[in-house]
Every structure is written in structure tokens, then in C-alpha cells.
Amino acid sequence: MSNIATNTPDHWQSLRSATSARIALGRAGGSLLTQAWLDFKSAHAAARDAVHYEFDAGQLASEIGAIGSPVVIVDTVAPDRRTYLLRPDLGRRLDEPSRYLLQQMQTSGENDLVIIVSDGLSALAVHRQSCPLLQALLPKLKADGWRIAPIVVARFGRVALEDEVGQLLGAQLAVILIGERPGLGSPDSLGAYAVYGPRSGNTDALRNCVSNIRPEGLPIEAAAETLHYLLAEARRRRLSGVQLKDQRSIMVAPSASAVAPANHERIAQ
């Protein structure tokens, strides 16, 4: 009888090379291999760190100002990070000084768009991705003649904050760039949520979301192109959310992007 062992191809390994998902990790008895377990713990720690990453609104405002955009810093009702995480509702409303500040900024002419930038659940994502995205997006909008309000940098903001800010500034559309809930392997993912007719009482069904904006996900230039398209269509058709779809013929790899009407599970904002 031959004692020559035969090699069985491991098809999981070829699949693993095509994705960053945790597959084909191997095992030792009934447990994960030590390296796989350590990698998991490291990714989990990075996600937790991203949630508690300190948001420097002043620094971000300076960086945005350096690309030629006027900026204003505001605060929500949430007084600190811990309260913000425990009370999502407080991140959806401006505090009184900030409301007064934006009311004083109202002009006789209506703004086409206001862009809000806030830390959300990953200030790390906002500090890494928001300025490059604005640098790619703003020239496209200005070339089309958009009237853009000063960019609003908000501490401890949630997605629905765009409704109050947009309404106060008389904007037809509002977009908030915000740190998404960190995943295991994506602690710096930025989301962009757009709404036509920002006003109190808007539901998530009225928003469009462009998510996973980061070099390893949806690249900055592709995200800017998608946002530019969605905003132009929203203004032309006077709507947003479930009624507005990305109908371009350009196909984007499913693993690289997620463009859809916003939903409660994704936002949790």
C-alpha cells in the first residue's frame, strides 16, 4: 500500500485573496489560529479607538478653509462624547448659540446647497477623508454654478442634523459628511448623506447615502463623481431618497462602494 500523501487543493485560499473578509482563517483543534485571533483583536481595538477618536473641529475648519471655502463651527446639544454616544437624539439638534449664529448668516437669496461635516461615529474617518473629498467635489459644483453656503463643521453631529442646518440657511439641498460606524477592518470609512428640502421631520427614506468612502473602499474621486451626479439629479428632479437612483451606465465593483437610499441600520445616527 502506498504511503504517499495526496495534496487536496484549498479553494478557500484563492477566495481569500479576492476579499478582505475574514474567511479561510484556519483552525487549531476547535479554535482559531493564534495569528488570526490576534488580527481580529487588533481590528476590534482599532474600531473602538475610532469611535473615541478626538475630533478637532478647529483643525478641520482650518484645513477646509485652506482649500478656499468659508467655514463656520457649530455645536449640537450633546455636551461631550460619552453623552453623544448614549443619546443619539442630542446629536440631531443644534445648541442655542449655534442656532443663533446660523440664523444671523441667512441671506436674502436662497442657497442651493449646504455641506455639513461632522465626526459621527468615526472622527478618524472625517479627518482623513473629508478634505480630499471636498477638494474633488467643490470644483465640480462651482463649475455648474451652485450657490454653496459656508461649510458647517459640527461637533457631535448625527445625520439628521443636516435638516436643521439646511433649513436655517435656506438651502434647497443639504449634504452631511460624517464618520460611519467602524467595521472590523474599516475604522476610517466616511459616509455622505444628501437630502432635498432639508427640514425638521424628514425621514431616512428621503436621504441618499454614498458610503464606504476611503482608499480601500470607494475612492475619493469616484465618491465625488457619484455625489455630483446625485446632487445634480436631486436639484433637477426636486427630490431625493428612495425615488432617486444612480442610473449612470458606469458600473462600480460591489465590493468598492455602496450607493443607496439611506436606511436605519446603516446610519444609526
Task: Say if residue 128's pLDDT is above 60.
Answer: yes
Task: Say if residue 164's pLDDT is above 70.
Answer: yes
User: Measured between alpha carbons, how far is 269 from 261 in angstroms, rounded to an integer?
Assistant: 15
CB 253 within 8 A of CB 216: no
CB 111 within 8 A of CB 164: no
Task: Say if residue 98's pLDDT is above 60.
Answer: yes
State residue 27's pLDDT score: 75
Residues 27-57: pLDDT tens digits? 777 888 888 888 878 878 887 877 878 999 9
Neighbours of 32 (CB within 10 A): 16
Task: Say if residue 253's pLDDT is above 70.
Answer: no
Burial of 22 (0-12, 13-18, 19+ CB in 10 A): middle
State residue 255's pLDDT score: 47
State residue 10's pLDDT score: 61
Tell me which amino acid residue 157 is. G
Least confident of 4-13, 80-89, 134-143: 4-13
Residues 78-87: pLDDT tens digits? 999 999 999 9
**Over residues 232-254, mean pLDDT:** 83
% of the chain at pLDDT higher than 90: 66
Q: How confident is the model at residue 23 (pLDDT cuts 50, 70, 90)?
A: confident
Q: What share of the chain is helix, strand, coil (3-state, %, to 5)?
A: 40, 20, 40
Task: Say if residue 181's pLDDT is above 80.
Answer: yes
State residue 47's pLDDT score: 78
Neighbours of 219 (CB within 10 A): 17
Residue 192's nearest CA partner among 225, 236, 216 is 225
CB 258 within 8 A of CB 209: yes
User: Measured between alpha carbons, how far is 54 from 254 in angstroms, rounded to an integer?
Assistant: 32
State residue 260's pLDDT score: 55
Q: How confident is the model at residue 130 (pLDDT cuts 50, 70, 90)?
A: very high
Q: How confident is the model at residue 9 (pLDDT cuts 50, 70, 90)?
A: low
- How high does pLDDT run on average in the chain? 87
CB 207 within 8 A of CB 227: no
Cα-flanking dihedrals φ and ψ of residue 256, to 5°?
-100, -15
**Over residues 165-185, mean pLDDT:** 93
Pull the grid cell for residue 71: 467655514
Antiparallel, parallel or unpaired: β 190-196 and 207-213: antiparallel
Residues 185-211: pLDDT tens digits? 789 999 999 999 999 999 999 999 999
Right CATH for 49-267 from 3.40.50.720, 3.40.1280.10, 3.40.50.800, 3.40.50.11240: 3.40.50.11240
CB 205 within 8 A of CB 160: no
